[in-house]
C-alpha cells in the first residue's frame, strides 16, 4: 500500500525544511569559520548540501519520492506520474517546509529570525546558470530514477555538489529553495527582486530537460520521477 497523501506531504515538508536548514546553516557556519575565504565558505556549503541531499533522498524517497523541489514535481505531473492536484499540494508543502527551514537555521545561529536578503544575483550569466543547473538536475533524476533507482540519491547529491562550482549561480535549481533563500540575509541568500528571474530560468530548464531526456530515453510518460535540490 502506498503512503497516504498526508504522509507524502509531511515527507515533502520535512525534507524541504531539512534541506534549506542545511543550505542556510552550513553557509552561516562556513562564513564564521573560513576567515573571509569565500572559496572555503562555498566548499563547506557544497559538501553539507550534497551530503544532506543523499540522506534525504534515501530517507524520504520511499515515502513521497523526495521531490523537495517544485520543478521536479511539475515535471512529474507533466509525465503523469503525479496528479495535478497532488502536484499543487506537493509544491505548497515544499514551500512551507523551505520557509520553516530558513527560520530554523536563523534560530539555531542566534540570528534575527525574520530577514530579507540583500545579496544581488542578477544577469544573463546567472540566469543561464540556473537553466543549466536545473536542466542537469532533472536530467540526472530522469536518467537514474526509472532505470537505476538505487543510485538516484547518490547521483543527485553528487550532481548538486558539482553544480555549486560549475554554474555561475551556484545552482539553486529549486523554486522553493530560491524563495526561502530570499528570506535570509546571509551567504546563501538572494535578493527578493532577483527571485522571479531565477524561478523562470529554473522552470525553463526543467521543461527543457523533460522534453530532451524524455526523447533521449524514449521514456514512458508514467516513469517515476523522484528526488531533488
DSSP secondary structure of 44-79: HHHHHHHHHHHHHHHHHHHHH----SHHHHHHHHHT
pTM, to two decimals: 0.94
Rounded (10°) angle between helices 70-78 and 124-145: 50
Provide the CATH number for the domain around residue 85.
Answer: 1.20.1080.10
Q: How confident is the model at residue 18 (pLDDT cuts 50, 70, 90)?
A: very high
Q: What is the mean pLDDT of the chain?
A: 95
Does residue 226 form part of some domain? no
Give me the pLDDT at residue 214, please.
Answer: 93
Q: 64: number of CA atoms within 13 Å, CB side?
A: 31
Identify the band that residue 62 occupies on the pLDDT scale cut at 50, 70 and 90: very high
CB 24 within 8 A of CB 105: yes
The reply to whether 122 falls in a domain is yes
**Quick one: pLDDT at residue 222?**
47
Within a 10 A sphere around the Cβ of 157, how many other Cβ atoms? Answer: 23
For residue range 124-139, what is the model confidence (pLDDT) as tens digits? Answer: 999 999 999 999 999 9
Which range marks the domain in which residue 149 is found?
Answer: 5-217
In a domain, 43, yes or no: yes
State residue 48's pLDDT score: 98
Q: What's the pLDDT score for residue 227?
A: 61
Q: How many domains does the chain have?
A: 1
Residue 222 lies in a domain: no
pLDDT (0 to 100) of residue 218: 84
Domain membership flag for residue 23: yes
Q: Does residue 91 form part of some domain?
A: yes
Q: What is the pLDDT of residues 169-226, one digit of tens each?
A: 999 999 999 999 999 999 999 999 999 999 999 999 999 999 999 999 984 544 555 5
* Residue 23 cell numbers, joined: 543550505
Asked whether residue 159 is assigned to any structural domain, the reply reads yes
Q: Are 57 and 157 in contact (CB under 8 A)?
A: yes
Amino acid at each position: 500500500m502506498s503512503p497516504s497523501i498526508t504522509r507524502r506531504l509531511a515527507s515533502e515538508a520535512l525534507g524541504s525544511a531539512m534541506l534549506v536548514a542545511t543550505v542556510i546553516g552550513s553557509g552561516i557556519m562556513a562564513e564564521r569559520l573560513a576567515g573571509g575565504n569565500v572559496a572555503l565558505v562555498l566548499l563547506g556549503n557544497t559538501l553539507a548540501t550534497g551530503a544532506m541531499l543523499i540522506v534525504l533522498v534515501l530517507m524520504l524517497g520511499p515515502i513521497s519520492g523526495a521531490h523537495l523541489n517544485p520543478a521536479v514535481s511539475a515535471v512529474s505531473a507533466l509525465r503523469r506520474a503525479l496528479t495535478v492536484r497532488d502536484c499543487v499540494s506537493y509544491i505548497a508543502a515544499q514551500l512551507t517546509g523551505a520557509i520553516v527551514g530558513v527560520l530554523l537555521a536563523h534560530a539555531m545561529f542566534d540570528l534575527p529570525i525574520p530577514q530579507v536578503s540583500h545579496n544581488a544575483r542578477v544577469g544573463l550569466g546567472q540566469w543561464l546558470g540556473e537553466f543549466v543547473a536545473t536542466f542537469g538536475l532533472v536530467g540526472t533524476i530522469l536518467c537514474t530514477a526509472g532505470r537505476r533507482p538505487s543510485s538516484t540519491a547518490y547521483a543527485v547529491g553528487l550532481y548538486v555538489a558539482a553544480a555549486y562550482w560549475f554554474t555561475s549561480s551556484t545552482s539553486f535549481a529549486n523554486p522553493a529553495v530560491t524563495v526561502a533563500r530570499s528570506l535570509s540575509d546571509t551567504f546563501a541568500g538572494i535578493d527578493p527582486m532577483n527571485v522571479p528571474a531565477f524561478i523562470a530560468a529554473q522552470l525553463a530548464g526543467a521543461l527543457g530537460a523533460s522534453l530532451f531526456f524524455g526523447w533521449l530515453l524514449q521514456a514512458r510518460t508514467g516513469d517515476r520521477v523522484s528526488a531533488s535540490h
